A and B are shown apart, each in its own frame.
Chain A
Amino acid sequence: GAVVSQHPSWVICKSGTSVKIECRSLDFQATTMFWYRQFPKQSLMLMATSNEGSKATYEQGVEKDKFLINHASLTLSTLTVTSAHPEDSSFYICSARAEDQPQHFGDGTRLSIL
C-alpha cells in the first residue's frame, strides 16, 4: 500500500532553534501534501496545504513566516518551524495524496522545545 515517511519522528531542541521536518511519499507521486498539528487531547488541525511547485496555502491563524513549507518535488515536502518556542511543542503530521486517491499519513513528528 501507499507509504508516507516522515522524519524525524522525535525532536527535542532548545528554544530559538529552527527545526525541519521532512515528509516523503515513497511509492507514489503526491500532487498535494498537507501539514497538520495536534496538541494533547485535541483534534488534528490543518496548518497548510501544499501543491508541488507552488506556494503553500495556510489556514487562518497559521503564520507562514513561522512555518515555512517547501514542496519542491512530487515526493517531498518539508516543514520548517523557525525559531521554535515551547508553545510550538506539538505533534506534527503530514499527509500526501495522489490524484483521485485518499490521503495517506506519515508517522508524525513529536516536537518538544525546551
Chain B
Amino acid sequence: RKEVEQDPGPFNVPEGATVAFNCTYSNSASQSFFWYRQDCRKEPKLLMSVYSSGNEDGRFTAQLNRASQYISLLIRDSKLSDSATYLCVVRSNSGYALNFGKGTSLLVTP
C-alpha cells in the first residue's frame, strides 16, 4: 500500500465551482502535512500546510483528521489559473523527507 493515496482525477469543473480533493496516508506517526501544487513540467510549489484545527488561506481550506488519517483540500470559486495537479504530501517523524501522493489533476474551464 502506498504511503499517500489520492484520487488522480482528473476533475473538470467550470469557473466559480467549488471542488474538494481527498487524501489518505498510511503512517500514523506522520507529523506534518501539506498540499503542494505542481504545474505541468514544473517543480512542486507549497500551497499550504495542513493543521489539525483546519486552516484557510483565501479560497483554499485544508482539513486534517488524524484519527481517520485523512486530509482534504477545498477550493472555492475556482479560477482558470487553479488548473494544475495538487499533491498531498506527508512528512513522517523520522527525518525531513517528504512523501508525495501521485497528485489530483484539476482542470477549470471557462
Contact = CB atoms under 8 A, between A and B. Distances in A.
B87 interface: yes
Given A43-B4, A43-B87, A49-B95, A107 B42 contact: yes
Contact of B43 (A42, A49, A107): A107
A102 interface: yes
B interface residue count range (under 10 / 10 to 19 / 20 to 34 / 35 or more)? 10 to 19
Contacts of A44: 44, 87, 98, 100
Contact of A43 (B95, B96, B101): B101
A91 B42 CA distance: 9
Contacts of A95: 98
Describe B's contact surface by its main secondary structure. loop
Interface of A: 6, 32, 34, 36, 41-46, 49, 91, 93, 95, 97, 102-103, 105-108, 110
Given A44-B87, A103-B96, 15 more contacts: A34-B98, A41-B102, A42-B102, A43-B101, A44-B98, A46-B97, A49-B96, A91-B41, A93-B44, A97-B96, A103-B98, A107-B42, A108-B41, A108-B43, A110-B41
- Closest 8 pairs (CB-CB, A-B): A44-B100, A43-B100, A43-B102, A105-B43, A108-B43, A46-B97, A107-B43, A93-B43
